[in-house]
Amino acid sequence: MADDPRPDPRAGADPEDGSGPADGSDSTGPLARAAYDRLAAGYDREGASKPSNAHLERPATRSLLPDVSGRTVLDAGCGAGHLADRLADGGAAVVGLDASAAMLGYARGRVPDAGFVRADLGTGLPFDADRFDGVASSLAFHYVREWGPLFAELRRVLRPGGWVVCSVQHPHADFEEYDDSENYHEVERVSAVWESFGERVEVPAYRRPLSAVLDPALAAGFRLDELVEPTPTAAFAEQRPERYAYESTHPNFLCLRFVAPG
Ligand SMILES: C[S@@+](CC[C@H](N)C(=O)[O-])C[C@H]1O[C@@H](n2cnc3c(N)ncnc32)[C@H](O)[C@@H]1O
C-alpha cells in the first residue's frame, strides 16, 4: 500500500539483503539489533496480545494518531509490524523501518502491502525531504542515544504540518527500575534481561530524563501537541489481575504527539 517503498541510498539503509548499516560508522551496528533479532519470533507471536503492549502502551499511542486515511506514514522501529498493520488498516500508505532483519521478515509477512527498509534510526533516515505526512514510532526511540539528529531527521522527512506520534519508556520508571541507572539527569546506557518473549535476552537501551525527551524535538522546531502517561485498560485487568494495581499507580510509558510547523 506504500506509494514507493524504495528508499534513497543514504547512510544506514539496506532495503534488500539485511547485511547491516551501509555507512560503516559503527561496526557493531545499532545498540539493540542483536537482541531484537533474537526476540523477533516471540515478539511476532505475542506482540499483539502481551498485556503491557496490547492493553497499556498501544491504546495510548493509537489514541494520539490523527486520521491516517490517504496519508503516507513512516513506522519508525516497526518491529514485527503490529502498528504498521493498524496504520495500513486505517488507509495509510505505510513504510516500515527497522534495524532488525528478523523483525522485518515478520513485518513483511504481516503487512504485505507496506514498504519496508532496514536502517538505523541513529544514523539518518534514508528518505527524501517532505516524504511523509506523519511518523509513528512505538517503543523504539529509546534505543537511539542522540535524539538531536534523530528529530532533525524526522523534521526533514515530514511535510509542513506533519506529526510525530511516539511512545518511549517513561523516564521516571527507567530511573527507578534499571539497576544500572546512576544519575537521573544524564542520558545513560542501561540494560535489562527480558524473559517475557520466551527467551532470556539481555536488552540494552538508553534512559534519559524528561528534559532530554522533550528538548530535542522542540529544538528541531516541533511543538508538543499532546502527552499521555498511559494507565492499563480493563482488558489488562482481566489478563494480568496481579499486575493491574501496580500498573495503575506507576508510570511505565510516555506517549507523545509532536507537530511540525505548517
Ligand atoms: C520494542 S520493539 C517495538 C516494535 C514495534 N514498534 C511495536 O510496537 O510492536 C523495538 C523495535 O525497535 C527496533 N530498533 C531498535 N533500535 C533501532 C535503531 N537504532 N534503528 C531502527 N530500529 C531500531 C528494534 O529492532 C525493534 O524492532
Contacts (Cβ under 8 Å, ≥6 apart) of 260? 155, 158, 159, 160, 161, 162, 163, 164, 221, 222, 223
- Taking only the tens place, the pLDDT of each residue in 107-158 is 999 999 999 999 999 999 999 999 999 999 999 999 999 999 999 999 999 9
In which residue are the cell numbers 557493531 written? 28
Q: What is d(CA 252, CA 177) in angstroms, rounded to the nearest whole number?
A: 10
Q: From ligand 1's centre to the CA of 143, what distance in Å?
A: 8
Residues with CB under 6 A from ligand 1: 30, 32-33, 36, 47, 77-79, 82-83, 98-100, 103, 120-122, 138-140, 143-144
First to last CA, the chain: 26
DSSP code for 142 = G
pTM of this structure: 0.90
Q: Given this model, what pLDDT does residue 116 score?
A: 98
Q: What is d(CA 97, CA 126) in angstroms, rounded to the nearest whole number?
A: 9
Q: What is d(CA 260, CA 262) in angstroms, rounded to the nearest whole number?
A: 6
Q: Given this model, what pLDDT does residue 21 score?
A: 37
Atom of ligand 1 nearest to the CA of 140: 12
Q: Output the residue whose Cα is nearest ligand 1's atom 10.
A: 140
Q: Given this model, what pLDDT does residue 16 score?
A: 33
Helices 101-110, 33-46: crossing angle, 10 deg rounding: 30
Tell how far CA 194 is from the center of its chain.
18
Q: Given this model, what pLDDT does residue 27 score?
A: 47
Using the Cα atoms of residue 52, residue 54, residue 59 and residue 65 in order, give the sign of their dihedral. positive
* Cell numbers describing residue 164: 510525530
Q: Name the residue among 232, 223, 224, 222 with its Cα closest to residue 253.
A: 232
What homologous superfamily is domain 33-259 in, according to CATH? Vaccinia Virus protein VP39 (3.40.50.150)
Tell how far CA 49 is from the center of its chain.
18
Q: From ligand 1's centre to the CA of 99, what distance in Å?
A: 7
Q: Output the residue whose Cα is nearest ligand 1's atom 27.
A: 79
Q: Given this model, what pLDDT does residue 28 score?
A: 65
Q: Given this model, what pLDDT does residue 198 score?
A: 81
* Cell numbers describing residue 72: 503516507
| Whether the Cβ atoms of residue 135 and residue 73 lie closer than 8 Å to each other | yes
Instruction: Name the stretches of the chain with pLDDT < 70.
Output: 1-28
Q: Given this model, what pLDDT does residue 196 score?
A: 81
